[in-house]
Amino acid sequence: MSPTMLDRYRRWFDYEKDSHRKVLASLDSVAAEGRDSDAYRKALDLLGHILAARRMWLHRLDPAFERPPAVFPTDVVRAGLEGEFEAMERGWEDYLGRLTEADLDRDLTYPTSEGATFRSTLADILIHVHGHSFYHRGQIASLVRAAGGQPAATDFILWAREPADPPAV
């Protein structure tokens, strides 16, 4: 049986959780002298933005979840980020676990950070949230390299592929 779209969104979220851990580890690969650099601080702020944006969307989808104080946090510190990501991820796991396939076509109305109101399908929101993290992880990888660290390898195919025997000739 083919996976449903909801199965795919849940799988993509599992990939994203793994990517968060790899990005956190890449920040730890920056030597002490590189951690005072603009690149390192910008990488931390971008990772904080990924976290805050995920939390904001979760709040928009289900107001029972806490709204983050800012979507573009500044002066983010490395200490405690694992715990913050784990808490956000538990919220998303709970939310995704309650969805049905029919929910994906539901229209949702929400305010933006600028105060405008828009409507989107849940499916469009979920793919946006997933793609948003791709975009910023690429930026973080460049910044980690500029700070002297080892960027995380977070390409989806690296996470999803499985070893196989070569085809018979």
For the chain, the domain total comes to 1
pLDDT, one tens digit per residue, over 82-119 is 999 999 999 999 999 999 999 999 999 998 888 899 99
Domain containing 100 equals 5-159
CATH classification of the domain holding 153: 1.20.120.450
Maximum distance among all Cα pairs of the chain, rounded to whole angstroms: 61
pLDDT-derived band at 1, boundaries 50, 70, 90: confident
Q: Is residue 165 part of a domain?
A: no
Tens of pLDDT, residues 45-79: 999 999 999 999 999 999 999 999 999 999 999 99
> Residue 169: its pLDDT value, please?
84
* b/e burial code for range 4-22 (CB count within 10 A of at least 16 → b): eebeebbebbebbeebbeb
Residue 169 lies in a domain: no
| Prediction pTM value | 0.92
